[in-house]
Amino acid sequence: MTALQDARPHVTTGPIRGSHKHHVEGPAGLRVPVRRIALSTGEHHDVYDTSGPYTDDSAAIDLHAGLPKLREPWIAGREPVGGAVTQLAHARAGVVTEEMRYIAVREGVDAELVRSEVARGRAVIPANRRHPESEPMVIGKRFLVKVNANIGNSAVTSSIEEEVDKMVWATRWGADTVMDLSTGKDIHATREWILRNSPVPIGTVPIYQALEKVDGDPAQLSWEVYRDTVVEQCEQGVDYMTVHAGVLLRYVPLTAKRVTGIVSRGGSIMAAWCLAHHRESFLYTHFVELCEILRRYDVTFSLGDGLRPGSIADANDEAQLAELRTLGELTRVAKEHDVQVMIEGPGHVPLHRIRENVELEEQWCDEAPFYTLGPLTTDIAPGYDHITSAIGAATIAEAGTAMLCYVTPKEHLGLPDRDDVKTGVITYKIAAHAADLAKEHPLAQARDDALSAARFEFRWLDQFHLSLDPDTAVAFHDQTLPAEPAKTAHFCSMCGPKFCSMRITQDVRDYAEAHGLTSVEAIEAGMAQESGRFADEGGRIHLPVTDRT
């Protein structure tokens, strides 16, 4: 690997507050990581863990050496079926791979479900044979909704060190995959550092690097330059690649009257090439060769939405839907070659037009996993587009989208920094989890129940530790009640001791128990008492607060 400027690059290590890394023993000696949250009741709660060895106190982290090659023996021992080494080929042949078994433990499902979903193309396991460091995960609508975090430098900002740090940081907070969208200098070296140190699958958009190789002029691109770039990235270990092969020459004019034209970087590059040469996209005409390359490594296609709408006005328009149909055609070609496929989706879509996106994708792309960027449900809140898009993300995930590409507060404004990465990941974990609850995933609600019980019983530390972002929860609580006793107090500063509804409910229950009543009777009895007092005091509403000036 290219030497880093900083000989000791810094990444965040150590367990997340209130938890530690634990390994669940799976079949055939598999050790599957979970984050074990210790509760004050003596119980514990395990949650899905994407953070790799970085949160394991007993693991020695050496970025120069890279992570342990977890999958190496599995990959070495695997015989090709029908000439193909892909998870799809194995799944179709009825083989349950080690990756599938590992995933089954993580997801709390049968390994056979993982196999059959991969076999029918409704789920993918992005796992390049040359990225043995990654911990297997699955993307598909029958499984937990996943979140991708985009990182990567641009020509004007950021270093390799910062990008490696962002990758570790994003997975710490729950990113299931990371895409390296670097476009500036050192693209190859940045990716190498990220891959060798990443516990999650890494995605890229190879056309970005290909464009750098021709000095940023799309007209100078060629199939050969692109192909060599793809091979280079496959060799390095990239697990999935965005390929904007659905941007056809004849679709480009469909964007002419749009409010925001073509907003996809890859889409605009390919549109520029098609127009400059007045020829069909080389990604489309060489698609079979591309399948043959990806198949050798088991790299998963993420068929790009180069014509996604970039504004509410352009949602679900002809250009977008024409491209989606073509992505369906390409999905079938890829699967004939035993290559796994997912489909990228929009963008900017108002709430009432979101479901249609999922329905058409499922219909036209044979239910290949849908992977969407938000969508943003309004255009009017730059600076808050993690929120405008998380609303759309939760909605589209409930409808069946398998993975959500995060949007950070910097969307439309600048390159996200470390804080934006965390905000984006946590925001998208909320959207994904909201959808898991709505889909009644068997693993989802237990965490809500555990947290709510802690909240109701004033086990403040348990409440913090069960939350998606314990550090922020503690910090907010500390702002008004930093003292240690406040972490067990039966109130917080929002309502104060007298107006705490949870404490009052508990009083009601205690009263009921003491008087041998049901809660309902207790409330009635209590109310009769209170109204007596109200009348006694001359019918004035009494506030149990002494000083309200």
Distance CA 452, CA 457 (A): 8
Binding mask 295-334 for Fe ion (x = CB under 5 A): ---------------x------------------------
Distance CA 427, CA 430 (A): 5
3-state SS class at 441 = coil
Binding partner of 87, given ligand IRN, Fe ion, none, CB within 5-8 angstroms per partner class? none
Binding partner of 372, given Fe ion, ligand IRN, none, CB within 5-8 angstroms per partner class? ligand IRN
Q: Provide CB contacts within 8 A for 421, sequence distance 6+.
A: 149, 151, 166, 169, 170, 408
Could you give phi then psi for residue 293, rounded to 5 degrees?
-70, -50
Bridge partners for 21 per DSSP: 35
Binding mask 186-225 for ligand IRN (x = CB under 6 A): -------------------x--------------------
Near ligand IRN by CB under 6 A: residue from 242, 326, 401, 467: 242
The Cβ of residue 35 has, within 10 Å, a number of other Cβ atoms equal to 20
Site for ligand IRN in 320-349 (CB under 6 A): 344-345
Asked if the peptide bond before residue 66 counts as cis, ω within 30 degrees of 0, the response is no
Yes or no: say if 159 and 184 are a contact pair by the CB < 8 Å rule: no
Binding partner of 454, given ligand IRN, Fe ion, none, CB within 5-8 angstroms per partner class? none
CA torsion 365→367→371→377, rounded to 10°? 90
Q: How far is the CB of 534 from Fe ion (least distance, A)?
A: 56
Binding mask 422-461 for ligand IRN (x = CB under 6 A): ----------------------------------------
Site for ligand IRN in 365-424 (CB under 6 A): 371-373, 405
Bridge partners for 33 per DSSP: 23
Distance CA 113, CA 115 (A): 5
Q: DSSP secondary-structure letter at 60? A: P
Yes or no: say if 131 and 204 are a contact pair by the CB < 8 Å rule: no
Among residues 268, 294, 106, the alpha carbon closest in space to that of 200 is found at 106
Binding partner of 405, given Fe ion, ligand IRN, none, CB within 5-8 angstroms per partner class? ligand IRN
226 or 371: whose CB is closer to ligand IRN?
371
Is 234 assigned to a binding site? no
The Cβ of residue 2 has, within 10 Å, a number of other Cβ atoms equal to 11
Is 495 assigned to a binding site? yes
Q: How far is the CB of 519 from ligand IRN (least distance, A)?
A: 49
Q: How far is the CB of 78 from Fe ion (least distance, A)?
A: 41
Piece in contact with ligand IRN (CB under 6 A), picked from 4-12, 254-262, 264-272, 521-529: 264-272
Helix axes 418-438, 160-172, angle to 10 degrees: 30
Is 179 assigned to a binding site? yes
Is 306 assigned to a binding site? yes
Piece in contact with ligand IRN (CB under 6 A), picked from 300-308, 460-468, 510-518, 521-529: 300-308
Helices (DSSP H) in 109-242: which residue ranges?
Answer: 111-119, 160-172, 187-196, 206-213, 223-236
Yes or no: say if 125 and 71 are a contact pair by the CB < 8 Å rule: no
Q: How far is the CB of 86 from ligand IRN (least distance, A)?
A: 20
Would you call 275 exposed, middle or buried from its count of C-beta atoms within 10 A (0-12, 13-18, 19+)? Answer: middle
Binding mask 7-46 for ligand IRN (x = CB under 6 A): ----------------------------------------
Sequence ranges of the binding site: 150, 179, 208, 244, 264-266, 305-308, 344, 348, 371, 412, 492, 495, 500
* Residues of each annotated binding site for Zn(2+): 348, 412
Site residues (vs ligand IRN, CB under 6 A): 150, 179, 181, 205, 242, 264-267, 302, 304-306, 344-345, 371-373, 405
